[in-house]
Amino acid sequence: MNPMVDFDSAEHPYDERFAKYRELFAQGSDVERTDDPFHARIRGWRMDRSLLFVREYGGVRHLRKERVARDGFDHFVLHHVVSGELVGGSPERPVRVLPGETLLLDTCCPMLAGSRNVALVTVSLAREAMRAAAGNLEGLHGRKISARDGALLTALLRTLAEQAPILSPGAQPAATRALVDLLSVATNPFGMGARSDYYRLEYARREAVLRVIDARLADRDFGIDDLVREVGISRASLYRLFEDQGGVANFIKLRRLRHLRDRLDNRAFDAQPLSVLAPQSGFAGESHASRLFKKAFGISPGAYRTASIRSTMEQDVEIMVRRWANSMSEITHRS
């Protein structure tokens, strides 16, 4: 799987390194230099309603304060420390996070994260997934999961970081489900209550529907009646699950667009023109796919593919920012 973000400060001129790094994070945080030497290496992959990053950095501090009220972010961030030390959490009450520990942050709240030198596995996770894992979201912002309570979660996060480059799109939903399950154990080491069970049931229902949708994307005639029959869910429950995404039909359209985008990002499909890829994603044809793709992502499929190919040969921060922004919007708006 091609990385969404692949940045190494050492590959830029010395006097441009920090500016490029700050530009990369401009969508989500204000970045400040500290007195320590600056360096940064980041690789990130788009998963199923989550983003996974392997990061090494030092000499910087990330802040979210005033922008919380205006940028619309509405998801959780998990920072798992592999080596070094992270200082983060609420700006008024930051905590030290050591190797083996994991820090939870809510993007709807002011936060900071910085280090002299740290290696992290970071996950941006949709709020619905965090609710399915923890049940009650109160008190999670700035919470530190100990190495003991998060031992199983740690094993999965580090394995995902190793396997991300070769993880197939079809395996991503299962990886996200495993992440939710083990995050549940880490945040509720003494067991979960009825409220948590309810949210997990809703999440499981949504996952079942999603698996059927993804399996039938190429079928243009696939619709709501097929979902009701194949999943065994009532229409009322189905509509409730996807109300936040503008309805079931709109959600299916979005999944088709992302399927097409993934093909355009995959170098194995470069020889296939859009006229071939569009029907494989369930679109009527090339013009139909092009119109909806540009409306959703702000760029034509052809231009997107050209930029994607170029990004595999050079570090283009502008392209990485576009990919990151689109992906962040998807998990933030629960779509």
Q: Both tokens of residue 18?
A: 């920090």
pTM, 2 dp:
0.85
Band of pLDDT at residue 334, cut at 50, 70 and 90: very low
**H/E run at residue 42:** strand 39-46
pLDDT per position as a tens digit, 121-157: 999 999 988 998 998 898 999 999 999 999 999 999 9
pLDDT per position as a tens digit, 230-240: 888 888 888 88
Phi, psi (5° rounding) for residue 193? -95, -175
Phi, psi (5° rounding) for residue 281? -100, 5
pLDDT per position as a tens digit, 25-42: 988 899 999 999 999 999
Write down the pLDDT at residue 335. 42
Given a contact cutoff of 8 angstroms between Cβ atoms, the answer to whether 153 and 175 are in contact is no
Given a contact cutoff of 8 angstroms between Cβ atoms, the answer to whether 126 and 50 are in contact is yes
As a whole-number percent, the residues of the chain with pLDDT over 90 amount to 54
Q: Of 115-124, 164-173, 238-247, 259-268, which one has max mean pLDDT? A: 115-124
Average model confidence (pLDDT) across the chain: 90
CA-CA distance, 118 to 95, in Å (whole number)? 15
Write down the pLDDT at residue 6. 93
